[in-house]
Structure formats: C-alpha cells, structure tokens
Amino acid sequence: MPKPANSLPLQDLKVIEMGQLIAGPFASKLLGEFGADVLKIEPPGVGDPLRKWRKLKDGTSLWWHVQSRNKRSLTLDLKTPEAQAIVRRLVAEADILVENFRPGTLEDWGLGWDALSELNPRLVMLRISGYGQTGPYRDRPGFGVVGEAMGGLRYLSGYPGQPPVRVGVSLGDSLSSLYGVIGVLLALQERQRSGLGQCIDVALYESVFAMMESLVPEFDVFGYVREPAGSALPGITPSNSYLCGDGRYVLVAGNGDSIYKRLMQLIGRPDLADDPALAHNDGRSAQAERIDAAIAEWTGRHSRDAVIEALQGARVPAGYPYTAADIVADPHYLARQMIEQVQTFAGPLKVPGVLPKLSRTPGRLGTGGPHLGEHTDDVLAGLGLTEAQRQGLRDRGII
C-alpha cells in the first residue's frame, strides 16, 4: 500500500504548469504523482481545452481526472501584465516550470527562460514543443500527430500499400512527456551540485524519432528504407498476429532461438524446428512468410483461449489485444494495483494506477482533477493579495 504523503520522493518541489492539453500536463502529472506540488495555470472562463475532450460527465472530460489529478488550479489571463506579474512572484519560489506553448509565446509575455532564470537561478524549466526551441521549423505549430509523422512512426504504421494509421492514443505527446520528466530529474540531480537550474528543450518529433531503433543506420549503410509491415515486426521472426479458429486474434512472439524451437514442436512442425537454416533470427527472417503460414495454419484450427493456453504451457510469449473491458477485469492488473478508484467531483472513478512502482516511496493517486480556478483565491491570498484586490482582478477578467 502507498506510504504516507510525507514519504513521497518529490514532496518538497513546487511545480508551475503553464501548458495545456497533453504533453506538458502529462509531464507535470507524473511529477505530482510522486509528491510535487503542481499548480496548474489555466485561462479564466474556459480552462484547459482538455476539460472538454472525449467523453464528458457532468460537463467535464473523464480524461481530465487522470491527466490533472493531484493538481491545483489557478486561473490567470497570461496576456495581461497583472497576471504576468503574479507568475513572476510564483516562479521566484518555484523549482520547476512546465510549459508547452509554441516557442516565443512566453518571451512575448516577458516570461521566457532568460527572464525567469535571472529571477530564480535555481529554476528548472521544461519546454515541450512540436519542433523544439531552435531550428528552421521552431515557429510552426506542432501536435503529437505531426511529431509522430516527422519522427518516422506514421510511415511504418499500417499495411503495405494502404494509408498510414495512427496508434489510438497520443503517443508522440506522451513520449515527449516522459523525456521531459527524465530531463527534469537529471537537472534536479545536477542542481544539487551546482545550485543552478537549467532549461530542458524537448521536441515532439525528436521524442518519436528516438524510438526508431535501427531506422537510420540501416539507411546509412544499405540505403534501406523500412516500409510498413502490418502486424509483423520486420527482421524479427516470428513476431506477428494470427487468426484463430473462433475469429479472434492471438499475438505470438517466438523470435528467441530456443523459444522458436519450442513453438515449432508445439504446432507439429519439427521440420521447421530442426532446420539449421532457421536456427537463428537472420535465417528465420529470410523465410518469415513460410514460418508465419505454419503458425497461422495451427492457430486457425483452435480457439484463441486454447491457443493461448497451449503457448503458455510451452513457455512461448503470447497474448491477445485487450479491450478496456478486458483490462478492468484482469486479475493481474488488479493484483498490481493498476486499476484504482478515486473520488472526483464527477463521483467515484476507475483510473490507471501510478508508474513506476517504487518499493519504499511509491507514488500517490490522490485527488481527481480540480474545478476550474478552484485554488485561485488560496494561491493569491498566499501571495498577500487582499479580497478586494482579488475581486478587482476577477472583475477585469484577469482571474
């Protein structure tokens, strides 16, 4: 079970989040799950657009309660000098600033890295954007879909001769968030020695490109352009999806040398198991269609559950595509506390658990996402603004 809040690893850190939608807020979500005090700044009246994305309950996105859990909400119109002055006061006491606006936006508001780091030399600033803070494309707007395309992922997704497809989640944004959090933790570690913060520049397309394995060296040496291959994993054999006799699919990863032999024995193909030409991956990849056909012939004679049971008995990695219904009912998910229930202003809600799992100072689920501006008065009162001053800002639409 999670330890008390006073044992969270990032409990003493103050984070200001000035981003919206996915990449920046996902990064600060991760920091908040491990104890950081995350103050999310949102535009008055409308808030983060994510509040209205996908399925809504009582007018608010259910996604909101995952993406914004453990955060406080402060409304500020950042285009106004009064709001910018408040941000500077908050930054003076902050450890981390997370933002994912288009490059140059914060500079236009007088809140760029140079200005804020002079105000607070210990500040660690995470900047996530489509193309990064430098280079000829820096001023272009960029969402995760563009990063996935430019990073090389979209070209490989789908089947040969068909339009490229996307993964059903915002993978480019989430990968950038993970790289951003790694950068923040590296900068905090270095700050312990130097006493100084630094700026972390994460580009969506670069985060995707970093996942592209041997894509570039293969082109560099052989002029080889990797093409989409559907559900197969080119050059790694066998690793594919196969149709079972009941019309459902099973995924089989039999590409280890000894695993491959066990798989071929299981499906009744000792000729393929004992063929010296197929003993190692390079030989198998040259005959991938032959091997895949043999596996498909076997799976096509059995139900998916029977196939899975047989493969598990032979110690061959196998599974099937989980739906949301499969996930919430799976005993392994439950045993690993990966499906948890939290109380939100929309009622009790099942949400994903916290990763990674630390043995001594695990993260927290905490609260669901906040109401828009729920903590505005508390934050501004903490800065010394009187009730009359706060009302004045509210009357002018600044908060």
Which residues participate in catalysis according to the annotation?
173
3-class DSSP state of 137 = coil
Tokens of 23: 């990449």
Q: 3-state SS of the chain: helix, strand, coil percent to 5?
A: 40, 15, 45
Give CA–CA dist 316/208, Å, rounded. 30
Is residue 387 packed enough to be buried (19+ CB in 10 Å), middle (13-18) or exposed (0-12)?
A: exposed
The phi and psi torsions of 200 (rounded to 5 degrees) equal -115, 120
Give CA–CA dist 271/261, Å, rounded. 10
Q: Is 332 left (phi over 0), alpha (psi -120 to 50) or beta?
A: alpha
Tokens of 171: 């993978």
The phi and psi torsions of 183 (rounded to 5 degrees) equal -60, -40
Which residue has 């288009």 as its token pair?
A: 102
Give CA–CA dist 48/53, Å, rounded. 10
CA dihedral 125, 126, 131, 136 (to 10 degrees): 10
Give CA–CA dist 3/332, Å, rounded. 22
Q: Is 211 left (phi over 0), alpha (psi -120 to 50) or beta?
A: alpha
What is the helix (H) or strand (E) element at residue 380, kind and residue range? Answer: helix 376-382
